[in-house]
Amino acid sequence: MTYFSFFLQYRRILAFAILLAFFSSFGQTFLLSFYLPEFATSFGLTEGRVGLLYGIATVLSALLLPWTGSKIDRVPLTGYTLAVTLAMALSAGLLAVAPHWIFLFIGLVALRHLGQGLCGHIAMTTAGKSFLANRGKAVAIAGTGFPLGEMILPAIVALSIATLGWRYSWGLSAVFMLLVLAPVSAWLIRFSRRHEDALDVKEYPGGNQSPGTWKARELLADYRFYLILFALVPVGFFSTGYIFYQVLISESRGWGSHVFPLAFAAFAITRALTALAAGPWIDQLTATRLLPAHMVFLLLSGTVLVFFSGEWAAYVYLIFLGMSMGTGQSVSVAVWAEVYGIENLGAIRSVASMVGVLSTALAPLLFGLLLDAQVPMQSILAGTLVLITLLTAFCFYASSALTRARKRKTLA
- Within 10 Å of residue 354's Cβ, how many Cβ atoms? 20
- pLDDT for 81 equals 94
Q: Helix 345-372 crosses helix 47-70 at what angle (to 10 degrees)?
A: 160
For residues 367 and 55, give the distance between their C-alpha atoms in angstroms, rounded to a whole number: 13
C-alpha torsion 302→402→361→364, nearest 10: -20
Instruction: Report the amino acid identity of residue 103.
Output: F
Cβ count within 10 A of residue 402: 23
Cβ(144)–Cβ(156) under 8 Å? no
Q: CATH 1.20.1250.20 region(s) of the chain?
A: 1-198, 213-412
Task: Give the pLDDT confidence score for residue 48 in this predicted structure.
Answer: 67
What homologous superfamily does CATH list for 213-412?
MFS general substrate transporter like domains (1.20.1250.20)
Q: How far is CA 396 from the centre of its chain?
A: 22
pLDDT tens string 386-406 = 999 999 999 999 999 988 887
Give the pLDDT of residue 202. Answer: 40
Q: If we measure between CA atoms, which residue out of 77, 133, 162, 146 comes closest to residue 328? A: 146
Give this prediction's pTM.
0.77
* CB-CB contact of 265 with 313 (8 Å): no
Chunked into runs of 10 residues, the chain (412 residues) has average pLDDT values of: 84 93 91 85 80 84 87 87 96 95 94 92 87 82 88 87 94 95 90 49 41 63 88 88 81 81 85 87 86 94 92 93 90 83 76 82 80 87 95 94 77 52
CATH number for region 1-198: 1.20.1250.20
**Nearest by Cα to 186 from 111, 346, 79, 114:** 79
